[in-house]
Amino acid sequence: MAIDKAHILDMLRSFPFISEVIDKGENNQCWTIAIAFPVKEDESLWFDMKLISYVSPMKQRGSSPIKFVNKDLMAYPHIMDDGGLCLHTPDQITWDDRVHAEIEALHEWIEKYYVREEKDAHYDDLVVEHVATKDSMMQFYFTQLDAMPPVGSYGEVLFTNLSKGTSDGYTINNFIVQCVSWGGKKAYGEWSKDYLAMEPRYKGLYVMLSGNPARYNKFAYTQYDELSELCTDDQLSYLYKKLYGGDKYPFVFWGYKTPSGKLRWLVTCPSEDEHIIRGIKTRLNDKIVYVPELQPIEMKCVYADECSYDNYFGRGRFLDEIVNKKILIIGLGALGSAVATTLTRCGARKIVLCDYDQKHPGNVCRSEYLFETGRTKKTNELKQILSAISPFVEVTEDTDMCNFKLHVSAGGKNAESKLNEFDIIFDCSIDSELMWAIDQVKTTAQIVNLSISNKANELVCAFSPNIREFVTRIYTKIIEETDGDMYNPEGCWSPTFKASYNDVQIVVQYAMRYIVRMLSGEMDIANFIIKEQDESLNLIRW
């Protein structure tokens, strides 16, 4: 879409809140127009409006072709370190609409942040200039620790690597920070035990700074010497000895606290060729001492993102009444595995799995398993999958529950205490004998029994107590006989139901929405059936 410069200048002049428009010409295919906004009686705020692309008024990779720059406003919110204003304007098709949207957004910014001097309520992480080598980049993930390293402390950071990523020809080396140690103390990340125990572990160095390592509280420092005022001599001496004492420490973690007291790390990768700290010869009380000093060397920062539980599940999770419960899932077929992954993606912290069965390729199409893992015990694979989804879920296996019905049937004494180990039990096993056995036991655990009919026409959800009676009645009296169109695998197995991943997921997800509401006390607990009727899913409560 061709750009009409004269028309754009006319447009700019027509805005009532723009007092002056000066065409500064073109340079390196960037057309600059200076525009003035009167903000006070005798004061105008000038911005350079830069058209950095003439190709189209549309955004490219999220960036508008129009940019406003004023390097004097760096201390203000949403101004980047090149003086450019970060505006998020709506999508536009024509240049007229684009110019309008950008100018309106700029005007709003001026009113809010410059004239009224408002501040945003939320905390924005520092703007860090990251470096990447020719073909790889580093990414650290960290959580809050179970103890905060004190300001002035120094020590080691243990981290380990996740899988490698790739993007646009780069290799991305992903790491998680597991533990920080100082003066005989250790503080661990929030990660699940599996992640904390992951090998191999690498070591980095850390110092806890006395303030925010940033200009305007926004832009992370870019040279080591800028950190000097935030470090103690002891910290620098420690770093000096460790960095240049023979062992290899490829990363230094510079810790600081946010205004709300949360831990953040600026992670740098000191070059082996240039010493970032030097001992400066100084005379002190008639003695020659070497005082460590950070050098004006560029800080090569790598990516370090806060990945605590609240951040990880910040976009959506189940309520605390669910996620903090110990949840047992019995039967890990299409239903059980879907329940397990749903709970995990919604923030569950303690999941116990029970199934004696192995996964076969035929299971993959409508459950959560993978083909590449081949034949394996369902509990083993699902544990891996759940841990891969969430670094906060503790997944264990319970083999006792596989024999629970036999235990109850034989009059065993410990049935109640066994069930009481859990807060919530999803029984997706469709084992009627187990259903009977669980019904026999008084327990503090809330049992949720899930099953579906052929073609996933109905999902039946029953809550303890008296599950068997309800489920039996529903399947004998309410749910109609199907046409017998079942799936018969080879051999003498019983035929299994026919239903796709989509068929299963849609009823499971719908059911989980209400199960969670019921278990968290938002709704009364009631048995229900989900059934598709007249092209919509209906939940029929009993």
Site residues (vs other proteins, CB under 8 A): 331, 333-336, 428-430, 432-433, 435-436, 450-454, 460, 465-466, 468-472, 474-476, 479, 481-482, 486, 494-497, 499, 527, 542
Query: Cβ of residue 482: shortest distance to other proteins, in angstroms?
Result: 7
- Dihedrals φ, ψ of 524, to 5°? -70, 145
Dmax (CA) of the chain? 100
At 258 the three-state DSSP class reads coil
Are residues 321 and 315 in contact, defined by beta-carbon separation less than 8 angstroms?
Answer: no
In the bound state with other proteins, the residue whose beta carbon lies nearer, of 49 and 461, is: 461
C-beta of 305: minimal distance to other proteins in Å?
38
Is 361 strand, coil or helix? helix
- Provide the minimum distance between the beta carbon of 434 and other proteins in the complex, in angstroms, as a whole number: 11
Question: Which lies closer to other proteins via its Cβ, residue 230 or residue 462?
Answer: 462
- How far CA 517 is from CA of 19, 343, 514, 523, in Å, comes to 57, 13, 5, 6
The least CB distance from residue 303 to other proteins, in Å, is: 42
If the CB atoms of residues 83 and 465 are measured against other proteins, the closer one turns out to be: 465
Shortest CB 353 distance to other proteins, Å: 14
Nearer to other proteins, 346 or 526 (CB): 526
Contact, 339 vs 512, CB < 8 A?
Answer: yes
Quick one: 106 or 511, whose CB is closer to other proteins?
Answer: 511
Residue 294 or 460: which CB sits closer to other proteins?
460
Please report how close the Cβ of residue 398 comes to other proteins at its closest, in angstroms: 17
Cβ atoms 454, 486 nearer than 8 A: yes
> Residue 474 CB, nearest distance to other proteins (Å)?
8
Q: Tell the burial category of 120 from Cβ atoms under 10 Å away from its Cβ (0-12, 13-18, 19+).
A: exposed
Instruction: Return d(Cα 333, Cα 456) in angstroms, integer.
Output: 14
We find the least distance from the C-beta atom of residue 451 to other proteins, in angstroms, to be 4
CA 73 to chain centre: 32
Shortest approach of other proteins to residue 473 CB, angstroms? 8
Beta bridge partners of 284: 287
As measured in angstroms, the least distance from the Cβ of 542 to other proteins is 5
Residue 110: helix, strand or coil by DSSP?
helix
What CA–CA distance (Å, rounded) separates 346 from 110?
Answer: 40
With CA atoms as reference, report the closest residue to 17 among 99, 101, 103, 83. Answer: 103
Euclidean distance between the first and the last CA atom of the chain, given in angstroms as a whole number:
61
Give dist(CA 426, CA 434) in Å, integer. Answer: 12
> Which of 187, 191, 190 lies closest to 206 in space, CA to CA?
187
Q: CA–CA separation, 429 vs 481, rounded Å? A: 21
Residue closer to other proteins, measured from CB, 158 or 435: 435
CB of 524 to other proteins, least distance (A): 12
Q: For residues 409 and 248, what is the distance between their CA atoms, to the nearest angstrom?
A: 62
Residue number with CB closer to other proteins (145 or 338): 338
| Nearer to other proteins among residue 480 and residue 534 (C-beta) | 480
CA atoms of 99 and 92, how far apart (whole Å): 9
In this complex, which beta carbon is closest to other proteins, that of residue 363 or of residue 390? 363
CA dist 133 and 173 (Å) reads: 12
Contact assessment for residue 314 and residue 343, using Cβ atoms and an 8 Å cutoff: no
Q: Which amino acid is at 508?
A: V
In terms of CB distance, is 255 or 333 closer to other proteins? Answer: 333
The owner of tokens 């969430």 is: 390
Rounded CA-CA distance 405/468 in Å is: 14
